[in-house]
């Protein structure tokens, strides 16, 4: 008998201050990465799905973001995007493209 399935892993990458696309409040947003792995006999073998999302801590709304957007937000949060005031201002803008 072969036992197989999937298991999900949720990683919090950063906490950012953004303007929420739903409630419009400038609030903290958590940047998360969800990885789903194929398991064989309860051993995770390889990832077959990876998604990125932000969640507003004010209203709880979750928005999916692309890997490129997640990388850009992560770079801004760690100061690798130049660290200037202009880059800090872009982190305040709405990344949701609604």
How many angstroms separate the CA atoms of 12 and 71, rounded? 13
Q: Residues 74, 31: contact at Cβ < 8 Å? A: yes
| pTM given for the model | 0.72
Per-residue pLDDT of the chain (98 residues; tens, 9 = 90+): 889 999 999 999 999 999 998 998 999 999 999 999 999 998 999 999 999 999 999 999 999 999 999 999 999 888 754 444 333 333 444 555 44
| Dihedral angle, C-alpha 44, 13, 21, 92, nearest 10 ° | -160
């Amino acid at each position: 008998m072969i036992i197989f399935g999937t298991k999900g892993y949720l990683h919090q990458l950063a906490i950012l201050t953004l303007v929420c696309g739903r409630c419009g409040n400038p609030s903290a947003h958590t940047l998360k990465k969800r990885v789903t792995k194929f398991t064989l006999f309860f051993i995770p073998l390889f990832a077959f799905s990876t998604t990125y999302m932000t969640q507003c801590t004010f209203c709880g709304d979750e928005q999916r973001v692309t890997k490129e957007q997640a990388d850009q937000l992560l770079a801004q949060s760690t100061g690798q995007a130049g660290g200037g005031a202009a880059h800090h201002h872009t982190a305040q803008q709405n990344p949701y493209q609604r």
